[in-house]
């Protein structure tokens, strides 16, 4: 207040001197009038700059009141935060732009264009495990798969958070607990896709369809499986192609586009087949007297593939993504062939059909994840297969 008062006093004195000068030299021409007015303009500019500086100081001291008065957005650059907070928000805005930038002619974010940042979804998830291969020097072929695990529930997503609840429909129908467990998380940006998983099957019944020359449908209760891993890959054409538009529905693909995908993977597989639990009349089809087959190994390697999204009609999207991988495999001492170093070959594949109508969206997604164990003595392919139906609403 004192600073404003002194400046106002100086302005008044200068204006008075200017007025006296003009009255003493009356009449004056245009040039003399301009020369007299210059000091007043310079003082006014100085006054404005001081006022702006004072407003900036007030903003820095009272940023909380500014937020309470007009609301808060992390992208609002007019709010003057303390130095440490300001650095953090600037770093976040830079990182968010680097990781989530899209060409809006191809991909748009519904949260930014329509303000609908939250989604609620009803989901039906159906998955099974499939196993096939050759035992003991490739002499005996074996093929089996688990029962289908059917989950139903809902999921709420928004602002990077997700809450879901699913229950096993087969538990209700069969009247018993099916020993299948699954945990999964994923993170998607314009440049990166990261997914982690954990799956375990504790002595659940599977259907054995073939063992050597035998063919049929035999319930087999001697299988246990556990797997976990992490996949991470980079999306090269990240400005035009969105993986999230097809599989997490947080983006909307406007035009057809594809991208090369490349990254790394880590995985652990542990599959046990206790053949002693087969009926006695089927034991004779085993290639030798061994009855306990265990494939336990860990993989690390690189993955290279391609994803393409076809927008064949307004509001319709079809995506196919195929990502094979190759790397190093380490089998454990208690595995079927003991401690060994092998070549790792795996395959990930996805398909999605998505329909968007206003704030509503519907999707059918398919996922296949396969791991192939191959050596001189054995060949064994284990895979996880999933089909999911989704109906959602943005709000």
Return the CATH number at 353: 2.40.128
Q: Rounded CA gap, 131 and 138, in Å?
A: 15
- Based on the fold, state whether residues 20 and 161 are members of the same structural domain: no
Q: What is the pLDDT of residue 165?
A: 81
Q: Rounded CA gap, 128 and 149, in Å?
A: 6
The tens digit of pLDDT for each residue in 167-196 reads 777 666 555 555 667 888 888 889 999 999
Beta bridge partners of 187: 194
Q: Rounded CA gap, 286 and 309, in Å?
A: 46
Q: Which domain holds residue 45?
A: 2-61
Nearest-CA neighbor of 390 among 164, 239, 201?
A: 164
- Based on the fold, state whether residues 116 and 55 are members of the same structural domain: no
Crossing angle of helices 63-70/30-61, nearest 10°? Answer: 90
Q: Is the pLDDT score of 95 beyond 60?
A: yes
- Based on the fold, state whether residues 162 and 246 are members of the same structural domain: yes
Is the distance from CB of 184 to CB of 196 less than 8 angstroms?
yes
> 161: which 2 tokens?
């958070």
How many domains in the chain?
2
- Based on the fold, state whether residues 283 and 138 are members of the same structural domain: yes
- Based on the fold, state whether residues 287 and 180 are members of the same structural domain: yes
CB atoms within 10 A of CB 113: 10
Q: Is the pTM of this model over 0.85?
A: no
> 259: which 2 tokens?
């991208």
Query: Across the chain, what does the average pLDDT equal?
Result: 83
Beta bridge partners of 370: 347, 383
- Based on the fold, state whether residues 194 and 296 are members of the same structural domain: yes
Domain membership flag for residue 70: no
Q: Is the pLDDT score of 120 beyond 90?
A: yes
Q: What is the pLDDT of residue 87?
A: 82
Q: What is the pLDDT of residue 188?
A: 87
- Based on the fold, state whether residues 154 and 48 are members of the same structural domain: no
CB atoms within 10 A of CB 341: 9
Q: What is the pLDDT of residue 317?
A: 98
Domain membership flag for residue 100: no
Q: Rounded CA gap, 317 and 233, in Å?
A: 22
pLDDT range class, residue 357, cuts 50, 70, 90: very high
- Based on the fold, state whether residues 135 and 220 are members of the same structural domain: yes
- Based on the fold, state whether residues 187 and 300 are members of the same structural domain: yes
Mean pLDDT to the nearest integer, 302-310: 98
Q: What is the pLDDT of residue 171?
A: 63
Question: Which burial class, exposed, middle or buried, applies to 322 when counting CB atoms under 10 A from its CB (0-12, 13-18, 19+)?
Answer: middle
The tens digit of pLDDT for each residue in 15-60 reads 444 444 443 333 333 333 343 444 444 444 454 454 444 444 444 5
CB atoms within 10 A of CB 383: 18
Q: What is the pLDDT of residue 169?
A: 73
Domain membership flag for residue 75: no
Q: Is the pLDDT score of 136 beyond 70?
A: yes
Alpha-carbon torsion (10, 14, 19, 23), positive or negative: positive
pLDDT range class, residue 61, cuts 50, 70, 90: low
């Amino acid at each position: 207040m004192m600073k404003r008062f002194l400046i106002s006093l100086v302005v008044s004195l200068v204006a008075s001197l200017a007025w006296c000068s003009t009255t003493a030299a009356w009449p004056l021409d245009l040039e003399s009038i301009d020369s007299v007015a210059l000091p007043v303009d310079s003082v006014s500019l100085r006054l404005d700059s001081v006022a702006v500086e004072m407003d900036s100081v007030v903003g820095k001291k009272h940023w909380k009141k500014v937020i309470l008065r007009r609301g808060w957005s992390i992208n609002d650059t007019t709010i003057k935060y303390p130095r440490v907070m300001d650095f953090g928000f600037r770093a976040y805005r830079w990182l968010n732009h680097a990781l989530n930038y899209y060409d809006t002619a191809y991909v748009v974010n519904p949260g930014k264009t329509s303000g609908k940042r939250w989604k609620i979804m009803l989901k039906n998830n159906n998955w099974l495990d499939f196993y096939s291969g050759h035992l003991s020097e490739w002499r005996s072929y074996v093929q089996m798969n688990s029962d289908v695990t059917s989950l139903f529930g809902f999921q709420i997503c928004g602002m990077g958070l997700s809450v879901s609840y699913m229950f096993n429909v087969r538990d209700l129908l069969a009247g018993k607990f099916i020993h299948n467990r699954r945990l999964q998380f994923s993170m998607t940006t314009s440049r990166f896709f990261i997914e982690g998983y954990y799956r375990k099957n504790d002595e659940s019944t599977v259907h054995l369809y073939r063992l050597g020359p035998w063919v049929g449908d035999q319930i087999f209760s001697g299988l246990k499986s556990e797997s976990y891993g992490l996949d991470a890959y980079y999306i090269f054409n990240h400005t035009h192609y969105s993986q999230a538009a097809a599989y997490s529905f947080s983006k909307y693909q406007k035009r057809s586009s594809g991208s090369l995908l490349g990254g790394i993977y880590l995985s652990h597989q542990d599959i046990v087949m206790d053949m002693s639990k087969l009926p006695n009349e089927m034991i004779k089809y085993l290639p030798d007297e061994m009855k306990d087959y265990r494939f336990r190994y860990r993989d690390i390697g690189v993955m290279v593939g391609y994803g393409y999204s076809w927008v064949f009609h307004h509001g319709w999207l079809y995506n196919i993504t195929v990502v094979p991988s190759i790397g190093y495999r380490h089998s454990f001492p208690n595995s079927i062939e003991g401690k060994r170093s092998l070549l790792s070959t795996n395959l990930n594949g996805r398909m999605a059909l998505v329909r968007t109508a206003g704030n509503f969206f519907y999707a059918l997604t398919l996922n296949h994840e396969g791991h192939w164990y191959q050596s001189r003595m054995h060949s064994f392919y284990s895979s996880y297969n999933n089909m999911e139906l989704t109906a959602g609403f943005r709000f």
